[in-house]
């Protein structure tokens, strides 16, 4: 079978052909055993590959941890454009960082008082980019110190050295 014919057969399976072409291809399948066999194989595979048969995977991290990293990235991205903007009155430039800090402060306070969804607070350090959050389920306050701040603290696997 020629490549073009085979791909038309597949396009027919995927409803990507016109009605006129669809009638032609259906007729071809009906009279050609090889075309029919190939069509049935493609159809069987297509029928298997649907959302119901897709393996469900879940995020391998807790929501708190996952969300804290997203939030940190959002905060960082939102602060950067304020500093890079082109000429504005000097007093605006003076206010911007202050305003930015105020917004961050309001955000942190809001999170603490509002309690968000899971009852935890979040804080992103402006000095060392560490992230602090509380997990009420595990009764733990976590301070995540991103790598790059300093050398690793310890390696239990001494054979790596």
Partner 1 sequence: MRRAIFLPWFCLLMFLAAAAPVRATTELNMSATLIWGTDEEKPNDPKIKPVSPEVAKRLKGIFKWKYYFIVKTESAGLAEKAVKKFVLSDKCTVEVRNDVKTYQAKLFGETKLLKTIDQPVKVGEDTVLAGDDKNSTAWFVILTPVAGK
Partner 2 sequence: MAQKPEYSTAEDPTLVKLAQKGDMVAFEQLVARHRDKIYARAFSMLRNEDDATDLSQEAWVKGWQRLHQFQGDASFATWMTRIVINLCLDQLRKLKRVRADSIDQMDDESGGVERQMPIINPNPTERLERGELRQRIDRALNQLSYEHRTVLVLHEFEELEYKMIAKQMGCSIGTVMSRLFYARRKMASLLASLKREELR
CB of 90: closest distance to partner 1 in angstroms?
35
Report how far residue 21's alpha carbon sits from residue 2's, in angstroms, rounded to the nearest whole number: 17
φ and ψ at 141, to 5 degrees? Answer: -100, 125
Q: Give me the least distance between CB of 60 and partner 1, in Å please.
A: 4
From the list partner 1, partner 2, none, pick the one residue 14 interacts with, judged by a Cβ distance below 5 to 8 Å according to partner type.
Answer: partner 2
> Is residue 37 involved in binding partner 1 (CB under 8 A)?
no
Between the alpha carbon of residue 7 and those of residues 4, 26, 40, 116, the distances in Å are 5, 14, 14, 52
Q: CB neighbours of 132 closer than 8 A, spacing ≥ 6?
A: 121, 122, 123, 124, 125, 141, 142, 143, 144
Considering the rule CB under 8 A, would residue 79 count as an interface residue with partner 1?
no
- Distance CA(116)–CA(17), nearest Å, equals 50
Give the x-and-dash track for 10-49 against partner 2 (CB under 8 A).
xx--x-x-----------------x--xx-xxxxxxx-xx
List all residues 6 or more positions away from 134 whose beta carbon is below 8 Å from its beta carbon.
64, 119, 120, 121, 140, 141, 142
**Distance separating alpha carbons of residues 114 and 33, to the nearest angstrom:** 68
The gap from C-alpha 150 to its chain's centroid, in whole angstroms, comes to 28
Minimum distance of partner 1 from residue 73's CB (angstroms): 16
Of positions 20, 56, 98, 153, contacts partner 1 by CB under 8 A: 153
Q: Which residues bind to partner 1, rule: CB under 8 A?
A: 60-62, 64-65, 128, 130, 132, 135, 137-147, 149-160
Q: Which residues bind to partner 2, rule: CB under 8 A?
A: 1, 3, 6-7, 10-11, 14, 16, 34, 37-38, 40-46, 48-61, 63, 66-67, 69-71, 73-74, 77, 107, 110-111, 114, 116-117
């Amino acid at each position: 079978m020629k490549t073009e014919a085979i791909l038309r057969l597949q396009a027919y399976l995927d409803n990507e052909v016109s009605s006129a072409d669809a009638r032609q291809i259906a007729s071809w399948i009906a009279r050609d055993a090889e075309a029919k066999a190939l069509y049935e194989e493609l159809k069987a595979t297509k029928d298997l590959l649907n959302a119901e048969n897709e393996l469900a995977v879940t995020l391998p991290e807790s929501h708190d941890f996952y969300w804290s990293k997203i939030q940190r990235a959002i905060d960082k991205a939102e602060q950067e454009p304020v500093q890079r903007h082109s000429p504005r009155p000097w007093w605006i430039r003076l206010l911007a960082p202050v305003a930015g800090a105020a917004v961050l402060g309001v955000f942190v306070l809001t999170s603490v008082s509002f309690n968000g969804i899971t009852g935890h607070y979040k804080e992103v350090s402006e000095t060392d980019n560490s992230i602090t959050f509380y997990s009420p389920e595990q009764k733990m306050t976590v301070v995540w110190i991103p790598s790059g701040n300093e050398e690793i603290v310890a390696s239990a696997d001494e054979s790596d050295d």
